[in-house]
Structure 1
C-alpha cells in the first residue's frame, strides 16, 4: 500500500526550523548534490536540515539534457574513471524511480564509411565498462534499419548507423522525489530560504543564519557540520567563510553553459534519440524525445559570471539549429522553438587555471574541507549524485565534523512515488498522471482532477504541488512540478492565471504566488524568439 504523501505546510516547516536544536548536518543548496547528501545522511540516522535560497533544482539540476548517462563524449576524452562510475550509478537512478527515469535507445546515424566501425567499437567499450549494469547491447544498423528507428533523420548520404543504450529522466521531478524521500526519513528541507551567513565559534563552523524569502524572518541554526552544495555558486559561500577567518578562497569553479532548444517531436518522431558524436566544431549534438517534445542540444560555452537566469547566446541557438538541419530531414527554425533552457555547469578549475576551453575540463566532482570545517562539493554530474553524496559524507567524517555512522543505504532505495507494480509509460510520451507513479490516486482524489489548465496539467496537480511538493509560486508549479515552461513557454503563459488562482486557494489569498514575475519571465522569451526557461 502506498503511504499517504507527507504535507509540506510551510508554517509547520518554519516552526520546526525555529525550534532550538543542534543539527548533525546543515546542507546549503537544494540541487541534486545537496539533496543527495541530505538523503544519504538522514538514512544513516543523522539529524539534517537543508536550506535552498530559491526552489529545489531551480538552477543547474532542472536544466540538464535529461539524460542519465555514462557520458560517451567523456570516454572519447579518455576519462574512463568518470564513465565507469557514471555507468554503474546510472542503474541506481533507473531503479529508484522508474516513473521518472528509464532506459533510452540512441541511434548514431553515420554518413561516412569509417564512422560506423569507429564509433561502434567505442560504444562496445562503453558496454564493456557498464558490465552487468548495461541496459542493452550496441548494434550496427543498415541505412534502412537506421531510418526505421529514426524516421526524422536525413536520408541523403546515410551509410548506416549504430544503436546503443543510455537513460533519460525528468530531472526536476527526480530532485523533488529526493527531497520528499529525505523528508520521509526525518530531514527538514525548506526552499525559498537563503543562507546569509556562516556562523563560527573559535574559528570553526558552528551553524548558519538563514532568511525566509517570504516573510524576511531570520533563523539561527546550530550545526556540527555544514556542507556547501550550491553548485556553480559555491565560491560565494567559500569566500564568506574564508574572510571570516581573515583569509581568502581562490575561485574553484569555471562556469560553462549548455543551451537546449525544444521543438515539436514531429522533427524526429519515435522513441529513439539521435546522437551526433562530433559536430562541425567537435561538440556533441543530441535530439532527445522527452515528454512529447524533442530536445535539441547541447552547447558548452565558457562564461565569466554565474547569473541565476542565464540567457542563451545568439550564436548558441544558431549552432544548434544549424547542426540539427544537417542531420534531420526537416530543418527546425527559430519559429519552431517552443522553449529553451540554459544550464550552468559547475566545472572545477584544473589547478586553479583561469578561463580556457571548458569542453576539456573533467566533469568529475571535487570535495574540499576548509580549515574552518566547511565542506564544499561541486563539479560532477546528475548521474553520479549518489556517489557524490557518499564522498561528501566520507570527507565530513575525515574532517572530524560529522560522526561516521555506517555505510550508505541509498543503493537500491526506492524514492517517494516509485511504482514497482506497473510498467511506467515511456518518458517520450506527453506529460500526464503517469509522472506521479504510485501517487496517482492521491492526485486524482484532489479537487479539480478533471479540470485541465493545460495539456497534461490539471488543477489537482497544482493542488498536489502546493500541499505535498513545496510549491510556493507559479514558477515552482509550472517550471519544476509540471514541466510546462520547459516544454512550451507560450502554453505556460496561458496556463499561469489558472495556476495562480489554484495556488492562492491553497496557500491563502495573502500569499504572493508571483504571477506577474512569471508572466514577465516567460512572455519575454516568447517575444524575443527564445521562448522558455533561460
Structure 2
C-alpha cells in the first residue's frame, strides 16, 4: 500500500519489504543508507524513476546535520569571491526551484542586510558582487523568485535594523535569500518519497554490508533498534548518504577506497525575536567565519562557528566558549548587548567537509567544490559534501552514478515533483480563514500552520474535526497546536517523545529549558497513538528530561571533550549498535 503517511504501521511494512528483499525475486533496486536531506532526496529520486527503493536511518529522520543547519536555502554568496560562478548559479537555481515550484510552503524569502563600513570602494565592490548574485538568479529563468537587491543609506539602514550599532556601518546592501525548517524539509521529502513507493524505516541501523561471490556489494545487514531484530537486505545498488558517518559506513565494505570526510562543528544560538529590533537578517564577516543573524519564526538564530569535531558524531554539543563566541560576535555590532539570560536555546551540528581527493582504489565520477559521488567498491555508491540547498542535485548525481549507463533510460524527474503540501497550497490559503474562525486560531497561528504543512493543513483540520480538543494550543507551548503533536505520530513517523520535541517541532530550543514544562502534555497526546502504558510514558519523559539536562550542562563546559562527556551521561532512547568493521 502506497501512502504518504509515516506511521508505526508503515514502518513495519517497510521492514517487511526489507526482509522480502532476501527472498528469490525480491531484490531491491536501491537501498539508501542515511535519512538526512541527501538520503531522503535520493530515495525520492530513485522512487520517481520507477526503481524499487528502501531507505533506512539509524536515528530519527533529519536528526543529524540536516536538522541542525543555519536553516538557509541560499546560493552561496561567498563563492562569488572564489569566482565559482557555476556553483553559485546551480545553488540559486535550486533555491528558486524550491521557492516557486517544489516547496513554496516550506521555503520562504528572507531579506538580508550586508552592512558596509566604507562609503565608496566597499559599496561598489559589495554592490557589484550582489548585483552579479541577482543576475545569476535571473538568467534564463522567467519570473524572478526574489526582489532585486538595493542599496540603503545609513538612515534607511537604521530604520530597517534599529538595533544595529550606530557606528557599525555607514549603510548596507539589502539582498534576498530564503529560509526553511530543515528537519521539516527532510520529513516532507521522506513522506513524498513514500508516496511514490519508497519504503522508509527510521531507527533502523546498517551494521554491515554484504558482498556476492565476485566481491560486489549486494546488500546490508540492518538492525531494527526498536526491537533488536536483525534483517538481511539485498539490493542491486547500495547508496551511502551518511554525512559525517561516511567513512564508517564505507569501512563496512572491507575495502580501503572511499571518500574522506571531516566533521566541522557549527553552533547556533536562539534568542527571542523581540530581543533584537530588526526587519531583516544580517550577514557579517568575522575574523574566522561568517556570522548570520537570521529572522526565523518567533526567534533570531545567531551563528555560526566552524571548529573541528573529533568525538562521537552522534551528539555534537555547544560549549560555553561556543556560546560566548557567537554572542560576542553579535554584540560587536548590536547596540544593546545580548547576555546568556537572553538565550532560549542552542544547537550544534556537524558539517561533513569533503577532503581533497579520494582514497586509493576509488572510482570517482562526479566531483564539484561542494560534493562528490564515488564508488569505493563495486555495488556501493557514496555521496558526500554539499549543502542543504543543493540536496536535489546531489541526489540526482548519486542515482545517475549508481545506475551508470542505465541512467539514460531512467532519467531523474525530481525537478518537476512538488513536495507534499505544495499542490493545492493556494486553495488551502483561501480555506484557512474559515478554519481559523471555526477553531479560534489567530492570524499568526494560521501562518505558522500553512508554513509547516501547506495544503496538508487539511489533514490537521480533519484531526481537529474528529477531536476538537486537538485544535487547542499546547498550554506550555502555545505556538503549536495539540493536533500538530498528534500529527507528528499519525502522519510523520515520530516514534519517541524526543522525535516530537526535537524534530517535528523545534521546541527543544524554541522554549527555555527544552520545553520540559510542555513535555507531559505532549506525552499524554502521543501515548495512546504509540501504545505506551504509564511505565513507557514515564520512561520517555525521563529520557527526554535527561537529554535536556545533559545538553544544558554541556553548554556550560569549557571545551568539546568535557561537554561531550557530560552529554554522554544521558542514555539514548534507541541506542545505536557497534558496526561490524
Q: What TM-score comes out, normalization by structure 2 length?
A: 0.83
Post-superposition offset of 1:420? 3.0
Cα distance in structure 1, aligned partners of 2:136 and 2:221? 45
Cα distance in structure 2, aligned partners of 1:53 and 1:528? 24
Cα distance in structure 2, aligned partners of 1:463 and 1:383? 29
1:492 aligns with 2:518: no
RMSD over equivalenced CA pairs, Å: 2.6
Post-superposition offset of 1:11? 3.2
| Distance verdict in 2 for CA 1:529–1:59, change over 3 Å | closer
SS at match of 2:237: strand
**Which is further off, 208-217 or 11-20?**
11-20
Q: Does the 8 A contact of 1:205 with 1:374 survive in 2?
A: yes
Q: Does the 8 A contact of 2:245 with 2:313 survive in 1?
A: no
SS at match of 2:414: coil
SS at match of 1:408: coil
| Distance verdict in 2 for CA 1:367–1:5, change over 3 Å | closer
Cα distance in structure 2, aligned partners of 1:371 and 1:265? 50
Cα distance in structure 2, aligned partners of 1:156 and 1:429? 35
Residue 168 (structure 1) aligns with: 179
Residue 356 (structure 1) aligns with: none
Post-superposition offset of 1:500? 1.7
Counterpart of 2:243 (choices 218, 227, 231) is 231
Residue 523 (structure 1) aligns with: 549
| Distance verdict in 2 for CA 1:472–1:121, change over 3 Å | same
Q: 1:366-421, CA deviations, whole angstroms, 9 ceiling, x for partnerless residues? A: 101123321000100010001111111111122x7x66543211113211122431
Counterpart of 1:437 (choices 451, 454, 475) is 454
Post-superposition offset of 1:309? 0.8
Post-superposition offset of 1:77? 3.2
Post-superposition offset of 1:149? 1.8
Residue 214 (structure 1) aligns with: 226
Residue 358 (structure 1) aligns with: none
Residue 254 (structure 1) aligns with: 262
**Which is further off, 81-90 or 305-314?**
305-314
Q: What TM-score comes out, normalization by structure 1 length?
A: 0.90
| Distance verdict in 2 for CA 1:146–1:340, change over 3 Å | same
Residue 357 (structure 1) aligns with: none
* Count of residue pairs brought into register by the alignment: 514
Matches within 5 A, 1:439-478: 439-446=456-463, 447=467, 448-453=469-474, 454-478=477-501
Q: Does the 8 A contact of 2:44 with 2:192 survive in 1?
A: yes
Matches within 5 A, 1:48-447: 48-94=53-99, 95-113=101-119, 114-132=121-139, 133=141, 135-202=146-213, 203-241=215-253, 243=254, 247-249=255-257, 252-276=260-284, 278-279=285-286, 281-351=287-357, 364-398=370-404, 404-418=408-422, 419-421=424-426, 432-434=448-450, 435-446=452-463, 447=467
| Distance verdict in 2 for CA 1:476–1:368, change over 3 Å | same
Post-superposition offset of 1:159? 0.9
Post-superposition offset of 1:270? 4.6
Unaligned 5+ segments in structure 1 are 354-361
